[in-house]
Chains A and B, each alone.
Chain A
């Protein structure tokens, strides 16, 4: 049983397209996150949601829109994809805000050509 699962694992798409990455957790956690890992392996928080409510949006372009239909899911939709969006995107969850145990998904490698 995968605790935090992301789909797809790999995504190759052309510039200008719109794409979504899905994340689901079966841990009963209240808080979910999206992190971006760039080509230099730097990991940065993008968004956090607590009980379906947006808590943190870290200066991410408006082309990125997270959606949380329920607290077990946090999807990431990206409009008008650019070359610089190529990265690995990690979903994570924790029991609640301020909780110290994060569980990470295995990542989605997005390549924009």
Chain B
């Protein structure tokens, strides 16, 4: 099957920017997503990007897509302690199901 890879851990200070990276292998991926999971909670869709886009901005969130390198990133500006969570990259193509990366744990310290 196709793989989605992420670094497992990121630690930043409050007020800094966070950048979470993801690589995927399925070149036919149509949509790419970022989900957030707070401790003990479910999956919250943060944002998504269509494969023909390079960038999408939504308030503090910026998604960058490099389709040639199959690289996706999520930048969180002015990171707050409430942003501490696990962030999952996910992709979907054709009639396949949503495939998740292993998640990046973001720890924001005061």
**A-side interface residues toward B, CB under 8 Å?**
33, 40-45, 48, 56, 90, 92, 97-98, 100, 102, 104-107
Residues of A within 8 A of B31 (CB): 100
Task: Give the segment of B16-24, B57-65, B95-103 that binds chain A.
Answer: B95-103
- Give CA–CA (A100, B98) in the complex, Å: 8
- Give CA–CA (A97, B92) in the complex, Å: 11
Residues of A within 8 A of B100 (CB): 42-44
**Also in contact, A106 and B42, with CB within 8 A (given A42-B102, A100-B30):** yes
With A33-B97, A48-B97, A98-B94 already in contact, 7 other A-B pairs whose C-beta atoms are closer than 8 Å: A41-B103, A42-B102, A42-B103, A45-B97, A56-B97, A90-B42, A102-B45
Number of interface residues of B (CB under 8 A): 19
How many inter-chain contacts with C-beta < 8 Å in the A-B complex? Answer: 39
Is B108 positioned at the interface, with any CB of A under 8 Å from its CB? no
9 contacts between A and B (CB under 8 A): A33-B98, A41-B86, A41-B102, A42-B100, A43-B100, A44-B100, A48-B97, A56-B97, A100-B92
- Give CA–CA (A45, B107) in the complex, Å: 27
